[in-house]
Structure 1
Amino acid sequence: MTFETFHFKPFIQEALTELGFREPTEVQERLIPLIQKGKSVVGQSQTGTGKTHTFLLPLMDQIDATREEVQLVVTAPSRELATQIYQAARQIASFAKPEIRVTNFVGGTDKQRQIERLTHQQPHVVIGTPGRILDMLNEQALDIHTAQAFVVDEADMTLDMGFLSEVDQIAGRLPEKLQILVFSATIPEKLRPFLRKYLENPIIEEIKPKAILSETIDNWLISTKGRQAEQQIYQLLTVGHPYLAIVFANTKQRVDEITDFLKGKGLKVAKIHGDISPRERKRVMRQVQNMDFQYVVATDLAARGIDIEGVSHVINAELPDDLEFFIHRVGRTGRNGLPGTAITLYDPSDEQAIIALEKLGITFEPKEIKNDEIVDSYDRNRRKKREKSRVELDRTMIGLVKKKKKKIKPGYKKKIQRAVQENNRQKRKVERRQEQRSARKHKKNSSQG
């Protein structure tokens, strides 16, 4: 299946081409047709499965830009998540004619200025945190009674952060005839009353995580350990001898910094980001395809509409804010059954993002750079695993083990070892007797009943 199956308007197809999206993910394949039919849906899926575009593509496809009114409202529990959705919506809207207006309402922005803008013009798409959207409604600046669809993203996190009451109040201001989409990694019991209140016979789709990287990709994880990331990238490019490597960073500024550092080390590097004109970008891409450059440093949006053949290495200079981009980055290598290597640099603050990726079925191999070689490293969770596997000993045994650690005569060590083994044997014996007694008692009670 390709995105053309959904028969989106031309501007949506143009946006997908720029993003480099060709085939829908499982959640997109299953839910987009239902959303297109106007169904209310509860989608249970993890971060990184493509759910943002699952709702944005079909809902923005239905917006009538000639109508000067709000047609879509989306809530997310944090500024960061709301901003990610807003940026994805802006990218799609940039291809629409007439223009689709998208506004982001989050805390930490100039509230008075937003109110003034709303007095002149209402947006077509409202995206934001529940608190700020409710503020705009209470100020009677934002008018959402015309909306056709309402999306609650990360509903379980919205509940955990205490924002469900605000979402409830927002939903109360929306028209009765409304398409509601709720996306959540889990469906906690406390969320169910909200779902029952607003969704009548919704379609519930659970998309379970599965392995989503090509089997031909070696997926490595390297800790920066406070070292300069640029120096590590330089080592990876020169030690690993890639045929063609793409280094991904999150911002234009970071792309510039990495490019300048690598050029300073004598490497011939191409860079691709949003500030580079389309004409210049085409020229750079032609040079990359002609193998004039062995190294490319790029942002996600700039690189995703571009097909680069023969990428042997992908390096994540940092984890993307939207984990969906991780899958697209790594998917640049290991294509058509060819081997590829993906390397992600991380520091302890990235732990939650790595755990989220692992929940999707992505497995990392820990590596480190030692004496100009890439070698196996230890599992970052080794301490936790060791603590879990530690067998609890009773006080007598702890005393014996402590004695065993001291420098004492060999014969005495053997004696302690035998005592430890005997103690364990006696414990097992007592446990078996208890099990037998319980079984006899259960049998007796069953026969009397």
Structure 2
Amino acid sequence: MNFTDFNFKPSIQAALADLKFIQPTPVQEKLIPLVLSGRDIVGESKTGSGKTHTFLLPIFQQLDETSQQVQAVITAPSRELATQIYKACQQLASFSEQEIRLANYVGGTDKQRQIERLKTHQPHLVVGTPGRIYDLVQSGDLDIHKAKTFVVDEADMTLDMGFLDTVDRIAARLAKDVQILVFSATIPQKLQPFLKKYLTNPMMEKIKTQTVIADTIDNWLVSTKGRDKNGQILEMIQGMQPYLAMIFVNTKTRAEELHQYLVANGLKVAKIHGNVPPRERKRIMNQVKNLDYQYIVATDLAARGIDIEGVSHVINDEIPQDLSFFVHRVGRTGRNGLSGTAITLYKPSDDSDIRELEKLGISFVPKVLKHGELQDTYDRDRRLNREKSQQKLDTEMIGLVKKKKKKIKPGYKKKIQWAVNEKRRKEKRAELRAKGRAERKAKKQSF
């Protein structure tokens, strides 16, 4: 299937051609017709599946440029995600012959200036974070009651960050017949009350990706046992010399610690986490895009949806506390068909988490850091596999071992070893006798 099969407006076709979009992704092929039909939808799909254009293309297709009303409202849980969606809207709008008014309402921007603009005209399409959008709605400056479409993007992240109540209040200001589209990487149970409250007979679609991690990504596993992790990361990245590397950590405190360590060792490193002020984050993101930094230390805030071009390496300082974020982190590299490398540092206590990831279809290649280079090494399960491959004692010998262990008399180990050796000698003699009989039988048959 090609995008031309959807019969979009010429301006949308031109925008798709500019993006070099020819064939829709599985989520786009499945859901775009349903969105165009007006159905409420809950789309569960992994990061990098093309969710953004799944809802943007139908919105732009049905947009009335002559109207003075807000026609679509899109919420995203972070400023960066909202801005990314807004830029995708700008690209689509740039090919329209008529003006399409867009607005990006996020925290950390000039609210008073936004209010002044709203006094002259309402935007056709609103993108933003729940808090700022609701502030403008509650004050009466932003009028959304006639919007035809409401999109909640990254719903599970919206829930995790505590914004679902605000999204609920926005939804309450919309018309009863508004089309609601909820997109999320997962659909947690705590999201169900919201879905039941606002969505009418929604189409629930779970789009399975063919591979959990893109096959363009080398996924490596490196043990930190007995090593200083900071020094290990420094040695690793100095040896790799990446084009752009993202180093994911689990906490803001760890982000600060690792950032200071790497900067102190002369590296150009940016940091992105929840305590970095919005304007500072925006400045950092612009500097990253200008390649002012070669390394980014980030919490999972940057793992979901933020598309930073040219990420050649992803390093997991440790396995994420929420295992679903592993795919989001690794998905920052190997995009658009380019190759990438993902490296996960682990300690022995992480083994159960690694096994859970492997159950999802994620495979790891074990590596070891030697002389500044990551080299192939033994699988972490080699001892277990070796034990499985060893010759198993038969039930008679196991019984003998258990019996001897119970008595715990002096010299019992020697007795057990003697019994084992004696049994093996008997088995060997039996094999030789059988072989001799077979040879004699063969000679008789030859005569």
- Quickly name the TM-score band, shorter chain normalised: 0.5 to 0.7
Corresponding position of 1:447: none
For structure 1, which runs of at least 5 residues remain unmatched after alignment? 238-244, 260-298, 304-313, 334-340, 381-410, 419-449
> Which one-letter code corresponds to 2:72 in the other structure?
L
Task: Compute the displacement of 1:149 (Å).
Answer: 0.5
Is residue 185 of structure 2 the alignment partner of residue 167 of structure 1? no
Task: Compute the displacement of 1:347 (Å).
Answer: 9.0
Q: Where do residues 362-441 of structure 1 align in structure 2 (5 Å cutoff)?
A: 363=363, 365=365, 367=367, 370-371=370-371, 373-376=373-376
Corresponding position of 1:391: none
Is residue 205 of structure 2 the alignment partner of residue 205 of structure 1? yes
Find the aligned partners of 1:358 and 1:101 in 2 and give their Cα distance: 46
Corresponding position of 2:76: 76
Find the aligned partners of 1:179 and 1:47 in 2 and give their Cα distance: 23
Corresponding position of 2:178: 178
Distance 1:251 1:332, change over 3 A: farther
Q: Do the aligned partners of 2:42 and 2:205 also contact (CA within 8 Å) in 1?
A: yes
Distance 1:68 1:377, change over 3 A: farther
Is residue 110 of structure 2 the alignment partner of residue 101 of structure 1? no
Match of 2:341 among 340, 343, 348: 343
Corresponding position of 2:30: 30
Q: Where do residues 18-417 of structure 1 align in structure 2 (5 Å cutoff)?
A: 18-211=18-211, 215=215, 218-220=218-220, 236=240, 253-254=287-288, 255-257=290-292, 315-316=312-313, 326=331, 329-333=334-338, 341-344=339-342, 363=363, 365=365, 367=367, 370-371=370-371, 373-376=373-376
Find the aligned partners of 1:16 and 1:325 in 2 and give their Cα distance: 27
Task: Compute the displacement of 1:235 (Å).
Answer: 5.1
Distance 1:83 1:331, change over 3 A: closer
> Which one-letter code corresponds to 1:128 in the other structure?
G
* C-alpha distance after superposition, 1:115-152 (max 9, x if no partner): 11111121111111222111101111001122110111
Task: Compute the displacement of 1:166 (Å).
Answer: 2.2
> Which one-letter code corresponds to 2:187 in the other structure?
I
> Which one-letter code corresponds to 1:127 in the other structure?
V
User: How many positions carry a matched residue from both structures?
Assistant: 326
Task: Compute the displacement of 1:379 (Å).
Answer: 9.2
Distance 1:109 1:222, change over 3 A: farther
> Which one-letter code corresponds to 2:312 in the other structure?
I
Q: Do the aligned partners of 2:217 and 2:342 also contact (CA within 8 Å) in 1?
A: no
> Which one-letter code corresponds to 1:44 in the other structure?
E
* C-alpha distance after superposition, 1:169-201 (max 9, x if no partner): 212221222211112333344433322222221
Task: Compute the displacement of 1:412 (Å).
Answer: 10
Find the aligned partners of 1:134 and 1:231 in 2 and give their Cα distance: 47
Identity %: 53
Find the aligned partners of 1:97 and 1:144 in 2 and give their Cα distance: 25
* C-alpha distance after superposition, 1:52-73 (max 9, x if no partner): 2211121122212222221100
Find the aligned partners of 1:87 and 1:173 in 2 and give their Cα distance: 26
Find the aligned partners of 1:187 and 1:21 in 2 and give their Cα distance: 28
Find the aligned partners of 1:70 and 1:233 in 2 and give their Cα distance: 48
Q: Do the aligned partners of 2:218 and 2:342 also contact (CA within 8 Å) in 1?
A: no
For structure 2, which runs of at least 5 residues remain unmatched after alignment? 224-228, 247-283, 295-305, 317-326, 381-409, 418-447
Which deviates the most, 157-166 or 51-60?
Answer: 157-166
> Which one-letter code corresponds to 1:144 in the other structure?
I
Structure number, greater radius of gyration: 2
What secondary structure is seen at the aligned counterpart in 2 of 1:38? coil
> Which one-letter code corresponds to 1:332 in the other structure?
G
Q: Do the aligned partners of 1:118 and 1:141 also contact (CA within 8 Å) in 2?
A: yes
> Which one-letter code corresponds to 2:337 in the other structure?
R
What secondary structure is seen at the aligned counterpart in 2 of 1:131? helix
Distance 1:23 1:358, change over 3 A: farther
What secondary structure is seen at the aligned counterpart in 2 of 1:158? helix
Find the aligned partners of 1:82 and 1:359 in 2 and give their Cα distance: 33
Distance 1:45 1:213, change over 3 A: closer
Coordinate RMSD, CA, aligned: 4.7
Find the aligned partners of 1:318 and 1:110 in 2 and give their Cα distance: 36
Q: Do the aligned partners of 2:313 and 2:333 also contact (CA within 8 Å) in 1?
A: no
TM-score by length of 1: 0.58
